Amino acid sequence: MGSAQLIGLDWGTSSLRAYLFDDLGHLSAQREASAGIQSITDGRFREAFESLCADWLEAWPSAPVIASGMIGSRQGWKEAAYLPTPAGFAEIASRLLPVDELAGRRFRIVPGVSTVSAGGMHDVIRGEETQVFGALARLGSADLTVVLPGTHSKWVRVQQRRIVAFRTYLTGELFSVLAKHSILGRLFASQPPPAQGADAAFADGLARAAADPAGITSLLFSVRAEGLFGRYEPHSLPSYLSGLLIGAEVAHALADRTIGLRQDPLVLAGSEELIDRYRVALSLQGVSALPVAGAPAADGLLAIARAARLASPSPRELP
């Protein structure tokens, strides 16, 4: 094994991903366990971490650890209070939460970020802020919007390299609960869709939601009605539902004055499949977006650790 200066943990609800960074900041190893916080009983977080990273801990007894995600929530190891917007590298680095020393090893949790809209409405992110900082570490732009599709899709507005506003959409979770627990899912086929019909159904859903985003709670019922009338095959109904939900999200977010400014770059971070879906939805609105290069969560953990002097600066920042 070579040198190592930092262990990064992307520790969410359903998984724990660990990254090992060498002295130059290169990712030298990574591994994953299903030890998300929802699977941890009796507060045995330390044991889950030490079990996944035992050999790293033995080989580099003084390498610090930085963790982000739901591990810092009320249900996690230790609650890291939300940092309010605007939040840049300096603010977040100054608010890392120390966890009890682990045999002399520093262990820090990245706080989530909170914001309040002009209408006085709260919103929160926890974990995604790290991906945004990871994107910023890669990109030249100081002003951009980062879209992070997922269970809770986040549209995060960055100005002067600080998170200034964001908005969450329940898109992924709506898809999941409607497919599993509502009348809409009853017509779904259990096999995966044949690609062609599914793509057309997805595009149809996008177009209908884009034309009438305020009607989304009504459009959702059309998943059942169109299924009854055979407009879409049972195999394609999930794609139609996905199109409706993503279409409503994208149409609304692009029109939102806080997050949807179109003159700045729009970048996407997430799974390849979701990025593809969002690019199709955005292109329908005449907007292009590129995936963030690199591994945003790992890049963000390193970048925040560097800003907090838990890790040595990037070689290009050296004098």
Contact residues for its own copies, defined by CB under 8 A: 114, 119, 121-124, 152, 167-171, 173-174, 177-178, 180-184, 208, 211-222, 224-226, 228-229, 231, 245, 248-249, 251-253, 255-256
Q: How far is the CB of 219 from its own copies (least distance, A)?
A: 8
Pick between residue 198 and residue 210 the one whose CB is nearest to its own copies: 210
Pick between residue 22 and residue 212 the one whose CB is nearest to its own copies: 212
Pick between residue 106 and residue 208 the one whose CB is nearest to its own copies: 208
Pick between residue 88 and residue 185 the one whose CB is nearest to its own copies: 185
Pick between residue 60 and residue 175 the one whose CB is nearest to its own copies: 175
Q: How far is the CB of 201 from its own copies (least distance, A)?
A: 13
Degrees, nearest 5: CA angle 214-267-24: 150
Helices (H) and strands (E) in the chain, counts: 10, 15
Q: How far is the CB of 102 from its own copies (least distance, A)?
A: 28
Pick between residue 255 and residue 290 the one whose CB is nearest to its own copies: 255
Report the C-alpha gap between 107 and 96 in whole angstroms. 9
CB 86 within 8 A of CB 50: no
Rg over CA atoms, the chain: 21
Q: How far is the CB of 203 from its own copies (least distance, A)?
A: 14
Nearest to 224 by CA among 210, 215, 214, 234: 234
Report the C-alpha gap between 8 and 127 in whole angstroms. 12
**What residue has token string 């793509």?**
199
Q: How far is the CB of 318 from its own copies (least distance, A)?
A: 41
Report the C-alpha gap between 210 and 224 in whole angstroms. 19
Report the C-alpha gap between 108 and 97 in whole angstroms. 5
Nearest to 127 by CA among 140, 141, 142, 146: 146
Q: How far is the CB of 179 from its own copies (least distance, A)?
A: 10
Pick between residue 99 and residue 209 the one whose CB is nearest to its own copies: 209
Q: How far is the CB of 69 from its own copies (least distance, A)?
A: 15
Q: Where are the alpha helices (DSSP H) in the chain?
A: 45-59, 89-93, 128-138, 171-181, 195-211, 216-219, 222-228, 237-255, 272-284, 296-307
